[in-house]
Amino acid sequence: MTDHRSASPGPHAPHIRTPVGVALIMRRVLYALAPALVAYVWFFGFGIVFNIIIAVVAALVTETVCLRVRGQELPVFLGDYSAVVTGVLLAFALPPLTPWWITALGSVFAIAVAKQAYGGVGNNLFNPAMAGYVALLVSFPEQLTNWLPPRMGDLDYEPLSLLASLQFTLTGALPAGFSLDAIARATPLDLMQNELGQMRTVEEIRGSFLFGDFGGRGWEWIGNFIALGGFWLLTRGIIRWHIPVGVLSGLLVCATVFFLIDSGIHPSPGFHLFSGGALLCAFFIATDPVSAPSTERGRLIFGVGIGVLTYVIRSWGSYPDGIAFAVLLMNLAVPLIDRYTQPTVYGTGASNR
């Protein structure tokens, strides 16, 4: 180097950039969830709307407090919508009738412990929404299994009004004539697991009004809309195919194998696909880039791992749906997966030696 060189004056190359920033990515994730939200409200009432509002407000307040404590720039980091996405995903995982303080607690845990304690956006080891959900699931198992029956099928279906939902969410009280025991139902996955445990066959269990063509009634349609949103994200390049394909193939291959072995005690692959959070996980939860591996092969492995673990937990675990645990367990495996899936850098392959 000659001594007359000095630092470059202008900005560094490249001088053009994609307009897709983190905030736009997060906003598109939210847009993609909108169709599923509409289906959700149709089948299970307005509870989820209150859950979303409470979870998002709690997430934003927690984020603000944490950022202030950590001395970070508020406008930059609050404007990224990542806390909003966390809140919305948590709300999607919760039953429609969840007391507000449980929702808020989950949101606070997700943001404060699972995200900010690790250093904020980009640094969290675990999926914040799933960490928050699991914290609630192990702390409040009863409240988190009180699902409402879906619209249709139930002959004496009486939807909770907007006000009644709000009243329950805020105060835990139901209008006269309603009791939680009377209106709450298990989820199809819950029912399947319980009844299978009581030596019934899949065919018998599926006679319940909670079941539709493949999975749970209502859940199927929500699943369709989630997949719709997911495909839109794929076409916009917001998510890539590796994780969704991994999750769904992991789950479906396991389900198909056991279904073929004994369809009496193993529900069909369609049931697994359209029940619980399988599709939400495949397109929206497991695709959180921060807590997923960074290599493409790694993301496929990560997805397959989640799918297989979900099947294992659903079939032989004590929780009806295994999504959250599967995601968190695979989050733990991310450094290992990354380590063993590094691509071969150009010009360093064996063929070049």
Residues within the interface to other proteins (CB under 8 A): 1-2, 4-6, 8-18, 20-22, 24-25, 76, 80, 82, 120-123, 240, 289-290, 292, 294-296, 299, 338, 342-349, 351-353
What is the nearest approach in angstroms of other proteins to the Cβ of residue 351? 7
Helix (H) or strand (E) holding 220: helix 219-235
Between 46 and 302, CB nearer to other proteins: 302
Between 17 and 318, CB nearer to other proteins: 17
Between 72 and 167, CB nearer to other proteins: 72
Between 22 and 174, CB nearer to other proteins: 22
What is the nearest approach in angstroms of other proteins to the Cβ of residue 195? 42
Of the chain, the end-to-end C-alpha distance in Å amounts to 31
Between 119 and 175, CB nearer to other proteins: 119
Q: Which residue has the tokens 């736009």?
A: 24
> Are the C-beta atoms of 57 and 83 separated by less than 8 Å?
no
Between 207 and 347, CB nearer to other proteins: 347
Residues near 240 by beta carbon (within 8 Å), at least 6 away in sequence: 234, 296, 299
Count Cβ atoms within 10 A of the Cβ of residue 68 and give its class: 0-12 exposed, 13-18 middle, 19 or more buried: exposed
Beta bridge partners of 211: 216
What is the nearest approach in angstroms of other proteins to the Cβ of residue 75? 10
What is the nearest approach in angstroms of other proteins to the Cβ of residue 280? 20
Between 318 and 348, CB nearer to other proteins: 348
> Are the C-beta atoms of 135 and 106 separated by less than 8 Å?
yes
What is the nearest approach in angstroms of other proteins to the Cβ of residue 123? 7
What is the nearest approach in angstroms of other proteins to the Cβ of residue 37? 24
- DSSP letter assigned to residue 147: B
What is the nearest approach in angstroms of other proteins to the Cβ of residue 281? 18
What is the nearest approach in angstroms of other proteins to the Cβ of residue 336? 14
Of 175, 177, 169, nearest to 146 by C-alpha is 169
Of 181, 130, 214, 192, nearest to 319 by C-alpha is 192
Residues near 77 by beta carbon (within 8 Å), at least 6 away in sequence: 63, 67, 120, 121
As a whole number of angstroms, the longest Cα–Cα distance in the chain is 88
What is the nearest approach in angstroms of other proteins to the Cβ of residue 58? 22
Of 240, 252, 226, 242, nearest to 307 by C-alpha is 252
Between 13 and 176, CB nearer to other proteins: 13
Between 199 and 353, CB nearer to other proteins: 353
Q: How far is the C-alpha of 171 from the C-alpha of 19, rounded, in Å? A: 45
What are the phi and psi torsion angles at 153 (to 5°)? 85, -50
- The stretches of 124-201 forming alpha helices (DSSP H) are 128-139, 162-171, 180-183, 188-197
> Helix 100-108 and helix 82-93: axis angle, to 10°?
140
Residues near 200 by beta carbon (within 8 Å), at least 6 away in sequence: none
What is the nearest approach in angstroms of other proteins to the Cβ of residue 222? 26
Between 263 and 344, CB nearer to other proteins: 344
